[in-house]
Amino acid sequence: MSELVLELRGLSAGYGGVAAVRDLDLAVASGEVIALLGPNGAGKTTTLLAACGLVPVLAGSAHFAGQPRSRRAEQNARAGLVLVPDNRGVFHSLSVRDNLRLAARGSAVDKALDLFPELRRLLGRRCGLLSGGEQQMLALAKAMLAEPRVLLIDEMSLGLAPVAVQRMLPMIRAIADHGAGVVLVEQHIDLALSIADRALILHHGRVALTGTAAQLRADPRAVEHAYFGLSEP
């Protein structure tokens, strides 16, 4: 049976004491991919930042690996609650190899390259010269070197062509299959649902629809109404 690695219950979180996410429930098990969907401003990024400790929790609770998660994001990251931000967090002036070495913390770089073999031919290249897709692969490879128990991925496809997203998504599935729980914020709904186990659609900071990926793929009308905040006819 899979272990529950991240649990948000009745979570409200936001900025300056104002909630951008309200009364959200989210549970993630090891080996599971959860797609977090919704339009811009729905609260997806706030949810990830609150989960890892970068945004204050105003109400409710956040548990990681069965314990209340630390309020310090860096402590959570060291324990395995790892965020890949939408700006990818790579060092553009360094080579791919040096980016990986900085993230390795004693882990063998080959462990990440086994999941992202396309990076092997790029090890000597300066990160600033990589394509957007290659930078995103590097960001994910760096995250894997932190040996995450939970991987929070914000806007993976930002700035990427759909064909690049299609290449990346099986890698996300492989990360989960290696044992991590994954929460993926993604704009390409169909592609995200193709590799997710479950999904939540947020609208104006609240959960508008939740279910298995198969259920949501089978009911595109319900997905459309939840995504755009439409009333059922």
Whether the pLDDT of residue 102 is over 90: the answer is: no
CATH superfamily placement of domain 4-80+148-228: P-loop containing nucleotide triphosphate hydrolases (3.40.50.300)
Segment holding 207, helix H or strand E: strand 206-212
What 8-state DSSP symbol labels residue 35? E
For the record, the structure tokens of 22 come out as 């309200």
Whether the pLDDT of residue 82 is over 90: the answer is: yes
Closest C-alpha to 230, from 211, 212, 204, 210: 204
Region(s) of the chain under CATH 3.40.50.300: 4-80+148-228
Is residue 114 within 8 Å of residue 175, measured between CB atoms? no
Is residue 10 within 8 Å of residue 61, measured between CB atoms? yes
Is residue 70 within 8 Å of residue 53, measured between CB atoms? yes
With vertex at residue 65, the alpha carbon angle to CA 155 and CA 90, rounded to the nearest 5 degrees, is 35
Q: Which of 12-26, 103-117, 141-155, 182-196 is predicted with the least confidence, judged by mean pLDDT?
A: 103-117
**Mean pLDDT estimate for the chain:** 91
For the record, the structure tokens of 226 come out as 């939840």
As a whole-number percent, the residues of the chain with pLDDT over 70 amount to 97
Closest C-alpha to 175, from 196, 144, 154: 144
Whether the pLDDT of residue 89 is over 90: the answer is: no
Q: Strand 198-203 vs strand 33-37: parallel, antiparallel, or unpaired?
A: parallel
Confidence of residue 166 (pLDDT cuts 50, 70, 90): confident
- Whose tokens are 């004693």? That residue is 106
For the record, the structure tokens of 190 come out as 């169909």
Is residue 38 within 8 Å of residue 16, measured between CB atoms? no
If one counts every other C-beta atom within 10 angstroms of the C-beta of residue 128, the result is 11
